[in-house]
Amino acid sequence: MITIRHAKISDAATLDSWDTEPHVISATTDDPHATEAYEDLDWAEEIAASSDLSRYWIAELDGRPIGVMQIIDPHSEPTHYWGDVEPNQRALDIWIGSAADLGKGYGDVMMRQGLAVCFADPAVTAVLIDPLASNVRAHKFYQRFGFQAVGLRTFHDESVCLVYSLSRASWRASDYVNPDRNA
C-alpha cells in the first residue's frame, strides 16, 4: 500500500541519496556530466522551509520511502520560478527515488494521490508540471493523466521544459478519478 506524508527533516539523507540515482539526474538536467540531481539544494533546509506555498511529500510503500513529490503554489511562492502564473493553480513535481522501484506503477499511484491533494482545495483550477523537453518518458506519463502541453519554456537555470496543465474538469473526467466510469 502506497501512502503519502509530509516530508520530515529526517528524510533529508534519503533525498540526498536519491539525488545521485542516474534516472533522477537525467530527469532534472540534460547535462551529461552531472553527478547529482539537485546539487545546490540542502534538503534539510528545503524541508524545514515547507509551507502552504511549497511542501514536500514522501511516498511510502508499506512504510518504506519510494518517492517524493513537491506541491507548489506557483502564483505565490517567493522564488517566482514559474513566472507570471494565474492564481488558484498548483505545480506538482514527482519522482521515484530508487531505480529498483521504477516500472512498478508506483508513479501512477503517487500522481493520483498528488493530484487529489492539489484538487482537494476547491479553489484550485489546474495543476502544472514542467518535465525537461528531452524527457519523452515523462511526457507520455503525464499525457496518460490528461495533461495538455502548454508550451516550451526556458527556466532560470536554462533548462528547457515542456510545461503541461491539467484542468480540474479534465481531472474529474479522467479514468484515474473515476476508474469504474467505463466498466
88: left (phi over 0), alpha (psi -120 to 50) or beta: left
Q: Is 158 helix (H, G, I), strand (E, B) or coil?
A: coil
* Domain assignment of residue 183, yes or no: no
* Domain assignment of residue 107, yes or no: yes
* Domain assignment of residue 179, yes or no: no
The Cα–Cα gap between 163 and 54 comes to: 18
* Domain assignment of residue 178, yes or no: no
Mean pLDDT across the stretch 112-140?
A: 95
Which of the four pLDDT bands, split at 50, 70 and 90, describes residue 81? confident
3-state helix, strand, coil in the chain (%, to 5): 30, 25, 45
Q: Which percentage of the chain shows pLDDT scores above 70?
A: 93
By CB atoms closer than 10 A (0-12, 13-18, 19+), residue 66 is buried
Mean pLDDT across the stretch 51-63?
A: 96
pTM (two decimals) = 0.91
Q: Which residue range(s) make up the domain with 19?
A: 2-173
pLDDT confidence of residue 112: 94
Alpha helices in the chain (DSSP H): 12-18, 22-28, 43-48, 106-119, 136-144, 168-173
Mean pLDDT across the stretch 150-168?
A: 87
* pLDDT higher than threshold 70 for residue 156: no
CATH number (domain holding residue 163): 3.40.630.30
Provide the number of structural domains found in the chain. 1
* Domain assignment of residue 164, yes or no: yes
